[in-house]
């Protein structure tokens, strides 16, 4: 089922289709319609009502078959807001048809599938982007500035924790959640992967991990882990302690601490940098979202606008497949370490 879009003059505009009209898609729709030189062409979902509702809200066409949308020459890029297990094939199909791809995290449920996506992007010359929007948060940028400038000194160690809540109702709302085959894991691959991405963005590429994963309060609800902990070794020589759970009573702010030779950096909702010389800097993110939300970060708009600016100018998009796969490799290495009880080296 479909309805053709009412098209503006899009000769100089990038036509966009959003595939998957679930909760996270609203951030994509809102960002696309506020991005210069882009035009929202289709809302796509196998659930016709979802697709129609999104199309009505944003003034675009709708479709229930993404493959048909890929045949429309007015569509130049697609956003993948679908369940994890669909990302790889949809991305490959889209790039085969000449479309740029921006996918929600994780980019795939296995590094092997992610590598296939990267190869296709390189073969076609099309942009493949991954939504790790928290790199664009003002506090994340401040941390990188303190590290890159040398003001904080060298990193000695780091720790991070994700203590969120995902109850039985959350997992039963969608059959793909809480399964190895379709979600690819639990708290690590879905919720905590953002924090793992930031850790390696701050500390360097991960080289080995030792971790454990388990089910606790959700053991009769899901087949994947609801809690995990790990030690991560980075190529910079830094070791990081990491823990994550979906079993807390609320969604607490993600906590990251980085101990440096000249300063201690604490991100816990707001950012505090305490320098050894007594100076303290405090920062908050400029545009917090209020109300109930099931994601971390508000910076989809910044990421999406950067994605299209790169397409329009030919500049390389920083959060490409090579960057997007890094946190996924850490997640899968922790799973393997938990299974074997051994250190796992990342390839």
Query: pLDDT by residue for the chain (347 residues), tens digit each?
Result: 666 554 454 457 999 999 999 999 999 999 999 999 999 999 999 999 999 999 999 999 999 999 999 999 999 999 999 999 999 999 999 999 999 999 999 999 999 999 999 999 999 999 999 999 999 999 999 999 999 999 999 999 999 999 999 999 999 999 999 999 999 999 999 999 999 999 999 999 999 999 999 999 999 999 999 999 999 999 999 999 999 999 999 999 999 999 999 999 999 989 999 999 999 999 997 654 433 343 445 799 999 999 999 999 999 999 999 999 999 999 999 999 999 999 999 98
Q: How far apart are CA 15 and CA 38, in angstroms?
A: 6
Q: How far apart are CA 318 and CA 138, in angstroms?
A: 17
pLDDT for position 61: 98
pLDDT for position 2: 62
pLDDT for position 297: 53
Beta strand segments in the chain, E: 2-3, 14-19, 38-44, 61-63, 77-80, 100-104, 128-131, 155-163, 206-214, 227-234, 239-245, 255-260, 263-268, 270-275, 280-283, 344-345
pLDDT for position 210: 99
pLDDT for position 285: 79
- Contact in structure between 81 and 104 (CB atoms under 8 Å): yes
pLDDT for position 298: 72
pLDDT for position 325: 99
Q: Going from the N-terminus, what domains does the chain have, and what CATH number goes with each?
A: 2-133 (3.40.50.720), 137-286+320-345 (3.30.360.10)
pLDDT for position 347: 83
Strand order in the sheet with 128-131: 2-3, 61-63, 38-44, 14-19, 77-80, 100-104, 128-131
- Contact in structure between 80 and 20 (CB atoms under 8 Å): yes
pLDDT for position 289: 40
H-helix or E-strand spanning residue 95: helix 87-96
What is the distance, to the nearest Å, from the Cα of residue 334 to the centroid of all Cα atoms in its chain?
A: 18
């Amino acid at each position: 089922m479909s309805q053709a879009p009412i098209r503006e003059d899009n000769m100089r505009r990038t036509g966009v289709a959003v595939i998957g009209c679930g909760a996270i898609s609203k951030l994509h729709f809102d960002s696309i319609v506020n991005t210069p030189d882009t035009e929202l062409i289709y809302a796509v979902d196998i659930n016709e009502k979802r697709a129609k509702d999104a199309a009505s809200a944003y003034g675009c066409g709708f479709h229930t078959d993404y493959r048909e949308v890929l045949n429309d020459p007015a569509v130049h890029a697609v956003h993948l807001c679908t369940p994890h297990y669909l990302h790889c094939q949809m991305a490959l199909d889209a790039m085969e048809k000449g479309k740029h791809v921006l996918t929600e995290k994780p980019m795939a449920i296995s590094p092997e599938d992610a590598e296939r996506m990267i190869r296709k992007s390189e073969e076609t010359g099309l942009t493949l982007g991954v939504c790790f929007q928290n790199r664009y948060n003002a506090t994340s940028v401040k941390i990188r500035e303190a590290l890159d400038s040398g003001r904080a000194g060298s990193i000695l160690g780091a720790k991070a924790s994700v203590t969120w809540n995902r109850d039985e109702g959350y997992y039963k709302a969608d059959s793909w959640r809480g399964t190895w085959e379709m979600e690819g894991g639990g708290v690590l691959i879905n919720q905590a992967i953002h924090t793992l991405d930031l850790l390696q963005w701050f500390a360097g590429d991960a080289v080995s991990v030792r971790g454990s994963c388990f089910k606790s309060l959700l053991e009769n609800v899901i087949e994947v882990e609801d809690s995990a902990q790990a030690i991560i070794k980075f190529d910079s020589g830094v070791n990081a302690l990491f823990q994550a759970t979906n079993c807390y009573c609320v969604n607490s702010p993600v906590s990251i601490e980085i101990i440096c030779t000249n300063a201690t950096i604490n991100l816990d909702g707001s950012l505090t940098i305490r320098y050894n010389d007594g100076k303290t800097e405090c920062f908050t993110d400029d545009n917090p979202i209020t109300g109930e939300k099931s994601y971390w970060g508000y910076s989809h708009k910044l990421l999406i606008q950067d994605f299209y600016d790169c397409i329009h100018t030919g500049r390389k998009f920083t959060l490409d497949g090579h960057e997007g796969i890094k946190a996924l490799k850490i997640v899968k290495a922790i799973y393997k370490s938990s299974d074997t009880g051994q250190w796992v080296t990342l390839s």
